[in-house]
Amino acid sequence: MAYSSEVYSRAKRIIDERRSLADRDANIKKADVYAKYPAVRDLDNQLMREMANFTMLMLRQKSEPDEVLSSMKAEIDSIQQKRSEILSANGLPSDYLEPHYTCKKCDDIGRKNGILCSCYKELCREEALKELAASSGSAACSFENFSLSYYVDNGVSDGTNPRRKMQNYYNFCINYANEFSAGSPSIIMMGKTGLGKTHLSLSIAKAVIANEKSAFGVVYSPAQKLVSELEREHFSFSGTDFAMRKYTECDLLIIDDLGAEFSSQFTTAAIGNLINERLYENRPTIISTNLSVKELTERYSERTASRILGEYKRLLFVGEDIRFLKNR
């Protein structure tokens, strides 16, 4: 699981807040009950002393006689019974003074026996989906609302049937998302603007993140934002590499609209290095671009273009601009 550090931090902050609220609520209840029923406070103090003594005996090197431990257990049970009877007599459940944590598995700690709890993983998924929506500017894109009706269902001049071809790509993307793993292939979606490349890449991202059977971190970024972050970090001379690590270490990187970013020597090198690094580490990448093969080669060098075109699964989108069709 390689979510961004921000996702982990936000998820942990939510868990900590849950635990803090539960503890605070329990303390408020405890103060109220102690004021009304001092006997409960006295029993709790006695229980704490007995539990501390019992724990100390258990941690000693030499074992205590069984009858001593049994006697202490019996005393602890007796105190707890008296406490429950007082609470019950006043219409309160026996666990009224205990913190009621959201997660019963880990008590809102986020880990159980050193392993991330399912509640932490679920929060990471939720926060990753929020991050995806924020970075893409759209929370609506999904496989469910991708419509094939905008693609004509007949042959065009080159004999291609756009709807049939896009149906195949749509099915491929669904299978890709459902079966995503660290060994999944990288993809480049090519074609003119408005053909659904961003929609399908975001649909893959959302499905991969939401898959409860796995825990993969996905980072989506328009190409311009990606290179701006890398450039700012590189020329800040701070010695940090947070941006580079975010883009190189995530399980799935989606670079949207490659070619729309400002072209410079740094940009060309940064894109090339990022693509090479992720291929070397066998980490899948999805690229969408309006560039042709020729334009891709001219802009990013023959070597970088060769890596992309030779090692990525190529999807050549066809049809008319969907944005234009929607507004027609």
Question: Regarding beta strands 252-258 and 115-116, do their DSSP bridges make them parallel or antiparallel, or are they unpaired?
Answer: unpaired
127 within some domain: no
Task: Tell me the residue range of the domain where 214 lies.
Answer: 140-327
% of the chain surpassing 90 pLDDT: 59
More confident residue, 60 or 105: 105
Residues 14 and 97 in one domain: yes
Is the whole-model pTM more than 0.85?
no
What average pLDDT does this structure show over 112-122?
90
Closest CA to 246 of 233, 261, 263: 233
pLDDT of residue 157: 57
249 within some domain: yes
CB atoms within 10 A of CB 81: 11
Residues 93 and 161 in one domain: no
135 within some domain: no
CB atoms within 10 A of CB 245: 14
Least confident of 25-29, 235-239, 283-287: 235-239
- Give the DSSP per-residue string, 42-67: HHHHHHHHHHHHHHHHHHSSSPPPHH
What average pLDDT does this structure show over 185-202?
94
What average pLDDT does this structure show over 208-233?
89
% of the chain surpassing 70 pLDDT: 93
Least confident of 8-17, 152-161, 301-310: 152-161
Burial label, 34 (beta-carbon count in 10 A; 0-12, 13-18, 19+)? middle
* Full strand arrangement of the beta sheet holding 312-316: 218-222, 252-258, 285-289, 186-190, 312-316
Residues 176 and 321 in one domain: yes
Least confident of 56-70, 219-233, 283-297: 56-70
| Apex 166 CA angle, 163 and 167, nearest 5 | 80
Does residue 285 have a pLDDT over 80? Answer: yes
* Structural domain count, the chain: 2
3-state SS assignment for residue 155? coil
Least confident of 23-37, 47-61, 119-133, 198-212: 47-61
Residues 289 and 203 in one domain: yes
Q: In this structure, what are the phi and psi dihedrals at residue 45, rounded to the nearest 5 degrees?
A: -65, -40
Residues 95 and 174 in one domain: no
191 touches 296 (CB < 8 A): no
Q: Give 37-64 pLDDT, tens digit per residue.
A: 999 999 999 999 988 888 777 776 555 5
pLDDT of residue 181: 92
Does residue 101 have a pLDDT over 70? Answer: yes
Residues 192 and 85 in one domain: no
Does residue 155 have a pLDDT over 60? Answer: yes
Separation of alpha carbons 66 and 159, rounded Å: 87
Select, from the ranges 3-12, 63-72, 126-135, 270-279, the one with the highest average predicted confidence (pLDDT).
270-279
112 touches 104 (CB < 8 A): no
247 within some domain: yes
Strands (E), 100-176: 111-112, 115-116
233 touches 242 (CB < 8 A): yes
pLDDT of residue 152: 86
Residues 215 and 281 in one domain: yes
Whole-angstrom CA distances from 258 to 172, 277, 322 are 21, 17, 19
Residues 83 and 214 in one domain: no
pLDDT of residue 107: 95
